[in-house]
Amino acid sequence: MTRKVNRATAAVWAGEKDYRAHGATQVPVVNSVSYDYTDLTHWYDVATGEAAGHIYSRNTNPTVASFEDKVRQLEGAEAATSFATGMAAISNTFYTFLKPGERVVSIKDSYGGTNRIFSDFLPHMNIEAVLCDTDDHEALEEEIKKGCKLVHLESPTNPTVKIVDIKRIVKAAHEEGAIVVVDNTFATPILQSPLTLGADLVIHSATKFLGGHADALGGVLCGESKLVGEVYHYREINGATLDPHAAYLLLRGLKTLDLRVRKQTENAEKLVEYLQTHPEIADLFYPGLKNHPHHDIATEQMRGYGGIFSFSLKGGMEAVRKVLPRLKYANRAANLGAVETTVGPANTTSHVESTEEELVNLGIPSSLVRYSAGIEDFDDLKDDLENALSILEN
């Protein structure tokens, strides 16, 4: 019996050989908008999906297909389709399945852009969006029991790194016939497999960990063929297509996904251990902490706690303004999951659209800083943080 290939190997080899050309060892960037057919019958079969091939790159493209195939295999999914950005993946999925008069149930402290769809866009379509406290699984279950078409989960959450018991919520959702979508951006396929926990669809902002180099935008959706096919049809008509050059960069980044995520997780775990006893830290958020409210759930459903943690300082936002500019080995930027360490307050990154009042309602401290550990040497990152925080001791 053939042993199942490890994720680290799949990240390098999956979804590539069928898309190479001329004996090349790398998938090419296919920039062609359209594809030539001399046999009109074959052309028609490809156009109607009866035969494999490509017609027009807004619909499908060889480089993009290779990227989709690699992520599909990493997530253990039947099918995958991609998008121009992570938010395009999320919004296209919502708009595919949700119709006027229907309900979606989710959590309060999801990514700010996702939250905006719930608060600003779906209500205009007469779609009810119910957001529950992430800590309250009972409330989630009760709202699901009232009836809903879709349940959207994010675990770990952005930026408070809370954990949702995916298997538990999936059970409640499926009893009501609801589709469960899980945003797996923070965990990646290396640390978490939502589909094996029962989820129907899994989403990534490929811009983040999957690409890993902060140089390409993209999103991807994986899951059961019929559901992914419905979203693909919505996307191909609405046009939020992944660019082939971005797909190439994401493919290149994916090859080191396992190495990067493991190093980022190691760095995050050690930095959190250091910050636990630092006198200037008011709160520290990381599922690897034993006092984290969802530590046991994270330990059960994840293969590591991830490369992202958040903290708030005793001096509030004024302290944040002093500390962040002093960091030498960190980009102060609205991104995460890159090889370089990236930091920023919630009000300029994940929830830049939110008011101070909304941040409070979402349970996000106004001075919270999200820290996405890179692949740098741990001692350098620790010394960098120590030096930056030392300004608060004066």
CA distance 71 to 68: 5
* pLDDT on residue 309: 97
Among this protein's residues, is 255 annotated catalytic?
Answer: no
From the candidates 69, 109, 165, 183, give the one annotated as an active-site residue: 183
The model's pTM is 0.94
CA distance 86 to 246: 13
From the candidates 19, 95, 111, 305, give the one annotated as an active-site residue: 111
* pLDDT on residue 101: 97
Among this protein's residues, is 17 annotated catalytic?
Answer: no
For the segment 320-329, what is each residue's pLDDT rounded down to a tens digit? 999 999 999 9
* pLDDT on residue 393: 83
- What are the residue ranges in the chain where pLDDT is below 70? 1-3, 347-364, 394
* pLDDT on residue 116: 92
For the segment 242-268, what is each residue's pLDDT rounded down to a tens digit? 999 999 999 999 999 999 999 999 999
Among this protein's residues, is 136 annotated catalytic?
Answer: no
Calculate the dihedral angle through the C-alpha atoms of 136, 142, 148, 154, rounding to the nearest 10 degrees.
Answer: 10
* pLDDT on residue 345: 87
* pLDDT on residue 359: 64
Do 88 and 29 meet the contact criterion of CB atoms below 8 Å apart?
A: no
In the chain, count H helices and then E strands: 15, 12
CA distance 163 to 166: 9
Do 60 and 187 meet the contact criterion of CB atoms below 8 Å apart?
A: no
* Residues whose CB is less than 8 angstroms from the CB of residue 121 and which lie 6 or more positions away in sequence, other chains included: 91
